Structure 1
């Protein structure tokens, strides 16, 4: 009965060792990254780079690249594969088209934000963090698209969530963009110091941009309705939850007037 209930929402897992292995790897590695954030070991980019280096005193051993170049490196390979997938798998149905569009738009938005919107401080990105993060984004995009391709030989799930997924994805991507815009406009011309963000849902939670990013990936999971995409979304949610808790700790360490009772990611709840 449980299996039948699950299969009403998901395609059956394809007989692929690669996809099965990546489902466990993505969920496990992202969840572990989230727990590492909670333990104070942060992925070394943005404001957390200097925070880590100050605590570990390992700056002289790190290769640091500029934030703009480093963040573009994170997202570009996944975006390029999203574009390439339209040529690799030219016509495999409307759901497959929606999945490829959502992933390609997601990473195109990320690249354009890096190039045109974000204003970076002087922290930079550690090269030994940029490479595995870029590889993770790339492999997850490849696997989501490949898993969808393999699922094409199975009947559609009896509960169709793809249109719900499109709605959630659009809300997520617009909400994330809006809150990134708020963050980008905090600094005036030539300013590099961090400030406490205000406006939008920043008045309710520390990381509304992460909340909307999770919502966007929930939308992608509803579009795909595959086990791998669900595993990746669950892992991403755990990582961003850990990152949100760390962000609150960072603000508390940086600003004496930052509210200690501020919610982390869910308004009024957590």
Structure 2
């Protein structure tokens, strides 16, 4: 592990967790590359992007609202249930479980009361997202549970992780709120969002989500959350690139200085 041993717990004695560390991060990274190459997960503005215009897709679909509820609810329930399945007085474990549970509670709250939906979502996509979030939540918590009794890493990043999580969840919620105000009541079309960091990047909500996920990694200081957060960052970077490309194709007046994810950079 080298230098990483100063920041991370040693890999847990679990073949399943160690295999999933590689599989999950690789899958997320490949999904990000697919987004850049034009093959999108079919939700939001890209819900029918991969379908032939001459042959409507016969894949079962549901409203985006119910699709996103399906995507987030199992992970929220897994986080909440972990307080009973993996009881512990360890501060790091308690903070991680609370952060993950709050993260998905916020998402469900936004689906119910903040977001406005005008498109469909492929059912298979909802299942894939739901499985990924639920499995990653369970593995993060289980990995932390396995670390009990193991000496803490020499450098404690837990408080930095809490700060990153709070910055991420607040920034993500704020920009989701701004997105919800982009359309007036009764409108269904897309507009260029404004306010906050939307003046610099088209996907500040993804930027803050990445910060939030690295908050999980810093709180945990385990290899799996770090790898999964890195994979998530690659996926959301690809998604941001595709989103900016979509806006440029739809709006002739899209401002050229507005980047995809990182102000002034990308």
Same fold (TM over 0.5): yes
Write the distance in 1 (CA, Å) between the matches of 2:53 and 2:27: 23
Deviation at residue 263 of structure 1 after TM alignment? 1.2
Partner of 1:182: 178
Task: For residues 124-146 of structure 1, give each alpha carbon's deviation from its aligned partner in whole angstroms, at most 9, with x where no partner exists.
Answer: 11011111111000100010000
Which of 155, 162, 166 does residue 162 from structure 2 map onto? 166
Partner of 2:43: 45
TM-score (structure 2 length as normaliser) = 0.97
Partner of 2:58: 61
> 5+ unaligned residues in a row in structure 1: which ranges?
none
Change (3 A) 1:230 1:40: same
- Partner SS state of residue 175, structure 2: helix
Counterparts of 1:90-101 in structure 2, within 5 Å, are 90-101=87-98
TM-score (structure 1 length as normaliser) = 0.96
Which of 223, 227, 241 does residue 223 from structure 2 map onto? 227
Task: For residues 200-224 of structure 1, give each alpha carbon's deviation from its aligned partner in whole angstroms, at most 9, with x where no partner exists.
Answer: 0000111100000000111111000
Deviation at residue 118 of structure 1 after TM alignment? 0.3
Write the distance in 2 (CA, Å) between the matches of 1:254 and 1:189: 22
Deviation at residue 88 of structure 1 after TM alignment? 0.6
- Partner SS state of residue 52, structure 1: coil
Whether the aligned pair in 1 keeps the contact of 2:200 and 2:257 (CA below 8 Å) is no
Deviation at residue 256 of structure 1 after TM alignment? 1.1
Whether the aligned pair in 2 keeps the contact of 1:92 and 1:149 (CA below 8 Å) is no
> 5+ unaligned residues in a row in structure 2: which ranges?
none
Which of 148, 153, 156 does residue 149 from structure 2 map onto? 153
Partner of 2:11: 13
Which stretch of structure 1 is more off in the superposition, 256-265 or 179-188?
256-265
- Partner SS state of residue 217, structure 1: helix
Write the distance in 2 (CA, Å) between the matches of 1:138 and 1:167: 24
RMSD: 1.1
- Partner SS state of residue 51, structure 1: coil
Which of 80, 92, 110 does residue 83 from structure 1 map onto? 80
Write the distance in 2 (CA, Å) between the matches of 1:257 and 1:125: 28
Deviation at residue 51 of structure 1 after TM alignment? 2.9
Write the distance in 1 (CA, Å) between the matches of 2:164 and 2:261: 17
Write the distance in 2 (CA, Å) between the matches of 1:166 and 1:195: 34
Whether the aligned pair in 2 keeps the contact of 1:92 and 1:152 (CA below 8 Å) is no
Write the distance in 1 (CA, Å) between the matches of 2:142 and 2:248: 42
Whether the aligned pair in 2 keeps the contact of 1:214 and 1:233 (CA below 8 Å) is yes
Change (3 A) 1:178 1:153: same
Write the distance in 2 (CA, Å) between the matches of 1:212 and 1:113: 15
